[in-house]
Amino acid sequence: MIVRILYFASLKDRVGASEETLEVPESCDVAALWALAQERHPRLRDVTTRPLAACDMTYAAWDRSVAGVEEVAFLPPVSGG
């Protein structure tokens, strides 16, 4: 199955691209997809706080399956005051 991954803000800077397309197994969930992204982009391994994830523009839990999902976005946590 093909999934488009979007990276935002500092994650985009670490990857060097705003998106990529990967082939993943049907059994893949968001956590496994993030682990795969970290394998492909070692600079993501330094991210200490888990980013937010969205599947097809809806926030998703880390155990959500990506079967049938076209797009997964990873967004770093935002802080401010």
pLDDT tens readout for residues 8-39: 999 999 999 999 999 999 999 999 999 999 99
Q: pLDDT tier at 77 (50, 70, 90 boundaries)? A: confident
Q: What are the distances in angstroms from CA 14 to CA 9, 60, 68, 73, 75?
A: 9, 22, 27, 15, 12
- What would you measure as the largest C-alpha separation in the chain, in angstroms? 41
Topology (CATH level 3) of domain 2-75: Ubiquitin-like (UB roll) (3.10.20)
Whole-structure pTM value: 0.93
Q: Name the percent of the chain in helix, strand, coil, to the closest 5.
A: 25, 30, 40
Residue 39: alpha-carbon gap to chain centroid: 12
User: What is the per-residue pLDDT for 29?
Assistant: 98
Domain range summary for the chain, segments of one domain joined by +: 2-75
| pLDDT of 81 strictly over 60 | no
